[in-house]
Amino acid sequence: MSLRDEARELDAMDPLAGKRAEFDLDPDVSYLDGNSLGAPPRAVAERLTEVVGKQWAGRLIRSWDEGWWAAPERIGDRVAPLVGAAPGQVVVGDSTTVNLFKALVAAVRLNPGRPEILLDDGTFPTDGYIADSAARLTGHVVRRVPVHEMADVASSRTAVALVNHVDYVTGVLHDLPGVTAALRSAGALTVWDLCHSVGAVPVHLDACEVDFAVGCTYKFLNGGPGSPAFLYVARKWLDSFDQPLTGWAGHADPFAMTAGYAGGSGIRRARAGTPDILSMLALDAALDVWLDVTVDQVRAKGLALGDFFLRCLDAGAPGVRVVTPRDHRRGNQISVAWPEAAAARTVMSALTDRGVIGDFRPPDVLRFGLAGLYVRYADVFRAAEELRALSET
């Protein structure tokens, strides 16, 4: 059986094949960039029409008391099962960058007398920028180390470690349970960045005793461009979470308009300013695609797609080097290095022109996201074929 025929057979047998119909996708495009921006669920446009036409235009300011104000916590509880958290520990709002700042500053305040912040040395740039800024403001120093060395490096000097669950370039899946346990043994707290794992890889924040976690919702959760991020705070820290952005939305009584700040109870104190209702309710609609599917199912398909993609690449993409682990120590993406670094960006542009959309990361990496809710085996076969064709030109 040819790989093309195998792709067709796998798609025919795929238990998640029907989910693709819930997304608004061009049938002629193989979209493999859901690890940057997820595809739009069809339900989102209809929901936003209702929000604008009925809630905003019809109810006007009354809508704040009819669901808008409570949306960050309510939608946070919808995200919670996707990251292994009990209700009341996740809030949706602000950006990943803002939530990282909240979590890091709160963590060092909870762990005084320890002057060091450990940082994943392959981190997404904004994580490093925020860690450096938080360190300057709090009098700490940032130490960049490979994730696999954190267990050995953590000490009585370490206040907190900021770690990415999935490396955004290579797709390597880091050992969240093991690293968290090792840091906890050293007395350090943890902040995990779940941007490339939420909605793709099972996450068990409560069971692993993670302290804080952040993540975006516009990748594998399909919330839309710039959709609000989320922040997880372990239950044991909810009452002592002293975050630096003490805006009115996190106040115990925000509409009392008092001069002094008093943090609200529970996860509410993680809020800062007025919630971005339009994008938040778009995310709310996007989360409906998870009502009849589990992260475990999506993970199984993502791994199967990756295994098939690797077989296709091995069969006919000379010179392309796979940089993502083959043994399932990966997120739901496959990254390859183009043999001529100077041409890699142009190659991705050429792929896009041919109807295969992935993305480029310097200096030479081409990334392909394998969102199990809508990516087909035919899509990854097509990507491998186009890579082969380009490698022969």
Binding residues for pyridoxal 5'-phosphate: 96-97, 124-127, 193, 196, 218, 248, 274
Contacts of 265 (CB under 8 A, 6+ apart): 238, 239, 252
As a whole number of angstroms, the distance between CA 292 and CA 33 comes to 23
Query: Which is the catalytic residue, given 31, 124, 220, 232?
Result: 124
Cα–Cα distances in angstroms (integers) from residue 36 to residues 104, 220, 290, 356, 369, in the given order: 24, 8, 19, 14, 8
Query: Which is the catalytic residue, given 23, 101, 168, 218?
Result: 218
Contacts of 289 (CB under 8 A, 6+ apart): 19, 22, 23, 41, 43, 222, 373
For residues 375 and 7, the answer to whether their CB atoms sit within 8 Å is no
Max distance between CA atoms of the chain, in angstroms, equals 73
For residues 380 and 370, the answer to whether their CB atoms sit within 8 Å is yes
- 172 beta partners: 330
For residues 214 and 107, the answer to whether their CB atoms sit within 8 Å is no
- DSSP per-residue codes, 321-351: EE-S-SSS-B-SEEEEE-SSGGGHHHHHHHH
- DSSP per-residue codes, 175-215: -HHHHHHHHHHTT-EEEEE-TTTTTTS---TTTTT-SEEEE
For residues 92 and 72, the answer to whether their CB atoms sit within 8 Å is yes
As a whole number of angstroms, the distance between CA 189 and CA 181 comes to 10
Cα pseudo-dihedral 146, 150, 153, 154, rounded to 10: 140
Query: Which is the catalytic residue, given 167, 193, 276, 284?
Result: 193
As a whole number of angstroms, the distance between CA 152 and CA 159 comes to 15
For residues 36 and 359, the answer to whether their CB atoms sit within 8 Å is yes
Q: Is 219 a catalytic residue?
A: yes
Query: Which is the catalytic residue, given 20, 157, 219, 271?
Result: 219
Q: Is 193 a catalytic residue?
A: yes
Query: Which is the catalytic residue, given 367, 368, 376, 379?
Result: 367
Q: Which residues are catalytic?
A: 124, 193, 218-219, 367
